[in-house]
Amino acid sequence: MKNWINNFLKPKIKSLFKKRSSLLKEALWESCEECKTLIIKDELVKNLWVCPKCNSHKRKVEPRDRFSIFFDDASFEILDQPMSKNDDPIKFVAKKKYSDQLKEARKKTGQPDSILVAHGKLDGMEVTCAAMSFSFIGGSLSVNSGEAFVNGAAYAIKNRTPLVVFSASGGARMQENLLALSQMTRTTLAVHELKKKNIPYFVIACHPTSGGVTASFASGLADIYMAEPGATVAFAGARVIKDTVKEEMPPNFQQSSWILEHGQLDMVVERKYLRGTISTLLQILLKKKESQVISETETDDVESQINTETSKSQSA
């Protein structure tokens, strides 16, 4: 009897208490990735997912949380986005089926793909905003997320609102092969349409922004291109570049501060100042663009124009 208590019952009770304690800790606390400080989750949310000790900006800020921080009174409307009928066009299989990866990502994030687009007000100004979820297969650019971006750009043009994008991505989604890469062209053409219609376009590069996303819509194509502190902004990874050029990279290579020093960003802005900074810049740009009249016919069927231009570029 004594052996049974010592060998089975006591370890079982300890295991249950340990598991409960671990779950409680996970629910109430968050560990900073940089300084390893334990932070009460409620305090982290109040501080806009920025560590109060080391000021590191957390990358796992989901689109709906971005919108809540960005829009007046945390009030916004998620736009409906068109979805492809075939989620797995090339039937991709690696360690697991791509179709299963999509199901898991949708369940985890509660969104159809890596980009969500919303409409709301920023200091009273009507603004369209797109945000990427790095939790959705690394924020990768797919056919559906490309369509969401184009649809968001078309909405911004139709409603004469600025388009503000929060990017966080590892690049084009390899599970969709060339179909994902073609979204680089489509999203770039969508930005071109915004420029033709004199619609302000801002990009905020969050950690990390890389690959095909950096090479298309999340780039210097923006009227204002900014980044959060500590964000990695790159096309190829530092390790790939190091192995290619056979040289050591600077300690802060590809971080937003280094990118700013080398002229590829307009500014680096802390999360708590983003709303105010974007609002001020938009007010300046919108006053300038008020004198530039846009005819109604120019805003018709933007998505059709983008698709036509994409077909031309691909056939060439």
Tens digits of per-residue pLDDT, 217-271?
999 999 999 999 999 999 998 888 888 888 888 889 999 999 999 999 999 999 9
CA 285 – CA 82 distance, rounded (Å) = 30
CA 184 – CA 179 distance, rounded (Å) = 10
- The reported pLDDT for the residue numbered 294 is 46
> What are the b/e assignments for 241-254, b being 16+ CB within 10 Å?
eeeeeeeeeeeeeb
| Sign of the four-CA dihedral 17, 21, 22, 26 | positive
What digits encode the pLDDT tens for the residues 263-287?
Answer: 999 999 999 999 999 999 999 998 8
Cα angle at 225 between 219 and 226, to 5 degrees? Answer: 120
CB 230 within 8 A of CB 198: no
- 253 to 34, 42, 170, 225, 298: CA distances (angstroms): 17, 33, 17, 18, 42
- The reported pLDDT for the residue numbered 211 is 95
Q: Which portions of the chain are predicted below pLDDT 70?
A: 1-27, 288-303, 305-316
- The reported pLDDT for the residue numbered 54 is 87
CB 173 within 8 A of CB 137: yes
**Amino acid found at 178:** L
| Sign of the four-CA dihedral 285, 287, 290, 291 | negative
CB 34 within 8 A of CB 54: yes
Q: E strand or H helix at 288, and its extent?
A: helix 271-289
- 209 to 32, 44, 167, 228: CA distances (angstroms): 20, 23, 6, 11
Residues contacting 105, CB < 8 A, separation 6+:
135, 136, 137
- 243 to 209, 246, 256, 262: CA distances (angstroms): 21, 5, 22, 22
- The reported pLDDT for the residue numbered 127 is 98
Q: Which of 71, 228, 38, 225 is nearest to 134 (CA)?
A: 228
